[in-house]
A and B are shown apart, each in its own frame.
Chain A
Amino acid sequence: MRRTFAVFAALTLALAACGGGGTTASGGGGGGTACKVGISWNNFQQPRWAATDKPKMFEAIQAGGGTVVGDPDANLDSQRQLSDVDTLINKGAQVLVLLAQSQTAILPALQKAKDAGIPVIAYDRLIEDPYVLYITFDNVGVGKAEADFVIKKVPTGSYVLIKGDKGDPNAATFLPMGWDQAGLKDKVSSGAIKIIGPAEGTYTDAWKTEKAQANMEAIIDQANAAGQKIDAVLAENDSTALGVAAALTGKSYDPYPAVSGQDGDPANLNNVALGKQYVDVWKNSNELGKAAGQAALALCKDKDPGKVTISVDASVAPLAGNTAKDFQTPGGKTVKSIILQPTPVTAETLDKVISAGWYATKDQICKGADTTKVPACK
Chain B
Amino acid sequence: MANVADAAQGQDVQVVPRPGLRGLLAQTEIDLRLFGMLAALAIILVGFNLISGGTFLRPVNMVTLGVQAAGIAIISTGMVLVIVSRNIDLSVGSLVGIVAMVYAELMANWLTSLGIGIDFPFRWAIALAIGIAVGAGFGALQGFIIAYIGVPSFIVTLGGLLSIRGLVWYLSNGAAVTGLDPTFQLFGGGAQGSIGGTLTWAVGLVGSLAVVGLLFNNRRRRRQYGFPLRPMWAEVTLAVAGSGAILGLSAFANANYWPQGLADQYAAAHGLPAGIQISTGFPDPLMILLGVTLLVTWLGTRRRFGRYVYAYGGNPDAAALAGINTRLTILKTYVLMGVLCAISAAIAVARLNAATLDVGQSYELYVIAAAVVGGTSFAGGIGTIPGAVLGAFVMQSLAYGLAYIGVDSPGQNVAAGVVLILAVGLDSWNRRRGTRTPR
A positions within 8 Å CB-CB of B: 44-47, 166, 197-198, 201-206, 208-211, 213-215, 217-219, 221-222, 224-226, 239, 242-243, 246, 249-254, 265-267, 270-271, 360, 367-368
Contacts and interface: CB of A to CB of B under 8 A. Distances in A.
B60 interface: yes
B179 A367 contact: yes
The residue among A215, A253, A254 with the most chain B CB atoms within 10 A of its own CB is: A215
Contact of B403 (A47, A202, A254): A202
B409 interface: yes
A252 B403 contact: no
Interface in B9-41: none
Interface string B350-393: 01111011110100000000000000000000000000000000
Given A209-B352, A242-B356, A226 B55 contact: yes
B64 A217 contact: yes
B359 A210 contact: yes
B354 A250 contact: no
A367 B180 CA distance: 11
B58 A225 contact: yes
Given A45-B174, A226-B55, A250-B190, A218 B354 contact: no
A214 B55 contact: no
B259 A217 contact: no
A206 B179 CA distance: 25
Contact of A214 (B175, B258, B358, B399): B399
Given A203-B410, A209-B358, A224-B60, 9 more contacts: A205-B409, A205-B410, A221-B60, A221-B61, A251-B190, A252-B259, A253-B259, A270-B178, A360-B175
Contacts of A246: 351-354
B406 to A, nearest CB: 4
B171 to A, nearest CB: 12
6 contacts: A45-B174, A202-B403, A218-B64, A225-B52, A252-B190, A253-B259
Contacts of B179: 270, 367-368
Contacts, number: 126
A242 B352 contact: yes
The residue among B189, B348, B399, B409 with the most chain A CB atoms within 10 A of its own CB is: B409
B262 interface: yes
B175 A267 contact: yes
A205 B354 contact: no
B52 to A, nearest CB: 7
A222 B354 contact: no
Nearest to A167: B410
Contact of B174 (A46, A209, A249, A252): A46
A354 to B, nearest CB: 16
B224 interface: no
B124 interface: no
A210 B352 contact: yes
Interface string B399-418: 11001111111100100000
Nearest to A238: B176
Given A198-B406, A202-B408, A251 B259 contact: yes
A218 B403 contact: yes
A236 to B, nearest CB: 13
Contact of A215 (B190, B261, B408): B408
Given A225-B58, A242-B354, A254-B259, A215 B174 contact: no
Given A205-B410, A251-B259, A266 B348 contact: no
The residue among B258, B262, B356 with the most chain A CB atoms within 10 A of its own CB is: B356
Contacts of B259: 251-254
The residue among B56, B190, B258, B352 with the most chain A CB atoms within 10 A of its own CB is: B352
Contacts of B262: 252, 254
Nearest to B413: A205
B173 interface: yes
Interface in B258-279: 258-259, 261-262
B339 interface: no
B167 to A, nearest CB: 13
Nearest to B60: A221
A203 B188 CA distance: 24
A360 B178 CA distance: 12
B191 interface: yes
Contacts of A224: 60
Given A217-B64, A252-B261, A252-B262, A210 B403 contact: no
B227 interface: no
Contacts of A221: 58, 60-61, 64, 404
Interface string B175-218: 11111000000001111000000000000000000000000000
A166 B410 contact: yes
B417 to A, nearest CB: 13
Interface string B72-86: 000000000000000
B169 interface: yes
Contacts of B261: 252, 254
B68 interface: yes
A215 B173 contact: no
A203 to B, nearest CB: 4
B252 to A, nearest CB: 15
Given A221-B64, A252-B262, A208 B410 contact: no
A246 B173 CA distance: 22
Interface string B53-72: 00110101100100010000
B408 A208 contact: no
A145 to B, nearest CB: 22
A267 B348 contact: no
B351 A250 contact: yes
Nearest to B396: A214
A204 B407 CA distance: 11
B169 A45 contact: yes
Contacts of B55: 222, 225-226
Contacts of B175: 47, 265-267, 360
A8 to B, nearest CB: 26
B84 to A, nearest CB: 28
A214 B176 contact: no
Given A203-B409, A213-B352, A214-B403, A250 B188 contact: yes
A265 B189 contact: no
Nearest to B411: A203
A205 B176 CA distance: 18
A203 B408 contact: yes
Contacts of B56: 225
Nearest to A225: B55
Nearest to B262: A252
B403 A219 contact: yes
Contacts of B58: 221, 225
Contact of B359 (A45, A209, A219, A250): A209
Nearest to B193: A250
Nearest to B62: A221
B354 A267 contact: yes
